[in-house]
Amino acid sequence: EVPEISPDDPYHGPNSRGIVAPGSSVARGDSAFAVERALGKYTSPEEVMTFPGTCHACGEDAETRMFVTKIPFFGEVIVMSNSCDKCGCKSSEVKPGGGVSEKGHKIRLNVTDEIDMNRDVIKSDSSSVAIPALDLTTSLGAMGGLVTTVEGLLKEIEKTMKSTGRFQIGDSASDDDKEKWNEWFGKFTDLFSLKEPFVIELDDPL
């Protein structure tokens, strides 16, 4: 069974300090607690292994926990969680397990209410995301891997687009370009408020 984690735990709870998501991982989450909680919904790992590790932040000795689990429509994954008693830093990463699938997967969700917005999303680092309402399709692997919710995925896309589009809406941009970009970003507000139902698609060739 997945070890119980108290929300008040300063090292394993939702208010723990930070998260490190190494490039080798296929997914990261808002906190290590959130990653394990989300993955634990789908299946209980057969065995949780605990062994000595090193803190990614301060380099001191830290405990590392690892387990293998299977997620429907996603496959086998290896979840690793590291917590440091010295600095309080936590990290969690999800690595792919098993071989490459014979076929890719494409998941389409019609988002109509708050329940849909709070659905868990596990996006691999090889997946693209399409939102027709925004006329947007990300490239394969954009934003890396994520363990989040539909709302969290939208926020990540909005943040990424604002970061990459800051030159288009900077001081050197024309008033017309600024207006178009601001109008486009305004559509995110409509999605977050569920002004109208919308569709989100995840397409993973692997």
Task: Encode 16-43 in three state secondary structure.
Answer: CECCCCCCCCCEEECCHHHHHHHHHCCC
Final residue before a domain boundary, out of 68, 99, 130: 99
Say if residue 90 is in the same domain as residue 4. yes
Give residue 131's domain range. Answer: 105-204
Report d(CA 75, CA 206) in Å as an integer.
Answer: 11
Say if residue 93 is in the same domain as residue 131. no
Say if residue 125 is in the same domain as residue 155. yes
Q: Per residue in 152-188, is it b (16+ CB within 10 Å) or e — as a string? A: bbbebbbeebeeeeeeebeeebeeeeeeebeeeeebb
Listed in sequence order, the residues at least 6 apart from 53 whose beta carbon sits closer than 8 Å to its beta carbon are 61, 62, 63, 64, 82
Say if residue 78 is in the same domain as residue 154. no
Label residue 203 exposed, middle or buried (CB < 10 Å: 0-12, 13-18, 19+): middle
For the stretch 55-85, pLDDT in tens is 878 888 888 888 887 777 677 778 778 888 8
The number of distinct structural domains making up the chain is 2
Paired tokens of 132? 């027709």
Say if residue 109 is in the same domain as residue 67. no
Say if residue 25 is in the same domain as residue 114. no
Say if residue 112 is in the same domain as residue 143. yes
Final residue before a domain boundary, out of 99, 126, 157: 99
CATH number at residue 167: 2.60.120.1040
Final residue before a domain boundary, out of 38, 64, 99: 99
| pLDDT at residue 120 is higher than 80 | yes
Q: Is the pLDDT higher at 98 or at 61?
A: 61
Q: Per residue in 23-47, is it b (16+ CB within 10 Å) or e — as a string? A: eebbbbbbbbbbbbbbbbeeeebee
Say if residue 37 is in the same domain as residue 118. no
| pLDDT at residue 17 is higher than 50 | no
Report d(CA 172, CA 116) in Å as an integer.
Answer: 39
CATH number at residue 59: 2.20.25.420
Say if residue 15 is in the same domain as residue 73. yes
- Does this model's pTM top 0.75? My answer is no
Say if residue 20 is in the same domain as residue 39. yes
pLDDT at 168: 63
Say if residue 143 is in the same domain as residue 82. no
Report d(CA 5, CA 66) in Å as an integer.
Answer: 15
| pLDDT at residue 33 is higher than 60 | no
| pLDDT at residue 158 is higher than 50 | yes
- Do 111 and 199 contact (CB within 8 A), yes or no? yes
User: Which candidate, 134, 32, 8, places its Cα nearest to that of 81?
Assistant: 32
Say if residue 114 is in the same domain as residue 84. no
